[in-house]
Amino acid sequence: MKIPVNKVWSTSLIITIYSFQLISGQSEGKETRDSIRYAKKDILDIFQSITNRQLRKNTIQSGGKGLSFFIIPSFNYSIHTGLTGIITTGATFNPDPERGKMSKIITNWNYSQFHQYWITTTSNIFLDKPELHFFSDFRYYKFPTQTYGLGPQSTMSHPLQIDYSYLRLYQLVFREIAANLFIGMGYNLDYHWNIKVDTVIGNKLDQFVRYQQGNHSISSGVSLNILYDNRRNVINPRNGTLVNIQIRPNMRFLGSDKNWNSVSMEFRHYLKFPVSSDNILAIWSYNEITISGTPPYLDLPSIGWDDYSATGRGYAIGRYTGRDLIYIESEYRFSLTKNGLLGAVIFGNAESIPESPSSDLGPLIPGGGFGLRIKVNKFSDTNLCIDYGFGVRGSRGFFLNLGEVF
């Protein structure tokens, strides 16, 4: 599918770029200087040199508690949603300049060419005394889509058409117990309603009915969370490690349709390779395991339905679904120009899900691809990411995103 390039989208991209430059004026001192060192030129610099006009406002500060608001129009593309228009609104502030923890609240308004629309609000609020971290993830989806059945042998032929509304309410509270190490508890709600599926008889419908009874489902539970994160720039990390573990029991007395328990484990690591270069080797592992009970169909682990909607480049969202998901991806990031304006990546991934609800994990399902990086903001080190991914059984497509996939 071709992405239309016209004056409307060109104007939107320019506005997006310019908006990011204004946001960068509220960046954190030393990290801002590091980003400038890594990326000497971005798209706005090119526009300024071509038009001979000063477009960037020099509002860089060395820290402080200043509150910054922003509105950013942009667009995205994936196999599952097609071309999607996005309006991002948000605010950033720093209640504790000495610790360098930047708090932010961001809302994304999305509408796709396939008439899907969804709203997401995420927030990370850091308090200096006591040393608390509040994390929120609120979402609403109205999402006609497709599902391809369970297990690694599912096919893309004759997918099950499905439509539903979805509400997510996740609220977590962390306490820092050591440098960059947090422990916390939270409440997690996943509520699907107005669920409608094809009535065409077949194995995919049988699998859906086995897990999904009625036109709604509720998974409600508390969670225990452990988080370690020493990355300096979460937008485009160049070093550091993230470890995130969550144990989540869903319980009837909290409103859940059934009792079921899960654990999710995530690991990310970034290092220079070779050490003497600015090239980055990024490694990501994302895993969801159902410990006991049976989740509703739409709450089963599924490619692309992770917390970041990022797993499985090369496949449509929901292409592989199962009781458990083991996923690993690696990406090599390198510059194409000395001024940092252009870069490229090569990536590979693999996932494993059970052959059936009662079996162990199945064979590895590989994917891979390559992509181009265009520097949008040299202060925050934000890239426009254009990737081409491919997988088994002819799965392939373009993926466009603002900011690194992980």
The residues near 222 (Cβ < 8 Å, ≥ 6 apart) are 185, 186, 187, 188, 248, 249, 251, 254
pTM: 0.84
The whole-angstrom separation of Cα 78 and Cα 315 is 9
Instruction: Show the tokens assigned to 164.
Output: 């539903």
Report the DSSP pairing between strands 160-178 and 101-112: unpaired
354 lies in a domain? yes
The whole-angstrom separation of Cα 386 and Cα 399 is 6
Q: Structural domain tally of the chain? A: 1
2 lies in a domain? no
3-state secondary structure of 353: coil
**pLDDT tens per residue across span 267-307:** 999 999 999 999 999 999 999 999 999 999 999 999 999 98
Query: Tell me, what CATH number does 61's domain have?
Result: 2.40.160.50
Element (H, E) at 289: strand 280-292
325 lies in a domain? yes
DSSP letters, 51-63, are HT---------S-
1 lies in a domain? no
151 lies in a domain? yes
**pLDDT tens per residue across span 155-187:** 888 888 999 999 999 999 999 999 889 999 999
Nearest to 149 by CA among 112, 81, 192, 198: 198
The pLDDT value given to residue 357: 66
210 lies in a domain? yes
Domain limits for position 298:
7-402
**pLDDT tens per residue across span 327-383:** 999 999 999 999 999 999 999 999 999 877 666 778 899 999 999 999 988 887 889
The whole-angstrom separation of Cα 252 and Cα 249 is 10
Under the banding of pLDDT at 50, 70 and 90, the label for residue 21 is: very low
List Cα–Cα distances, 181 to 132, 226, 270, 390, in angstroms.
11, 8, 18, 37
198 lies in a domain? yes
Pick the residue with more confidence: 63 or 356? 356
The count of other CB atoms within 10 Å of the CB of residue 304 is 20
The whole-angstrom separation of Cα 62 and Cα 311 is 36
Pick the residue with more confidence: 54 or 47? 47
**pLDDT tens per residue across span 183-202:** 999 999 999 999 999 877 77
143 lies in a domain? yes
Under the banding of pLDDT at 50, 70 and 90, the label for residue 130 is: confident
Under the banding of pLDDT at 50, 70 and 90, the label for residue 13 is: very low
Under the banding of pLDDT at 50, 70 and 90, the label for residue 101 is: low
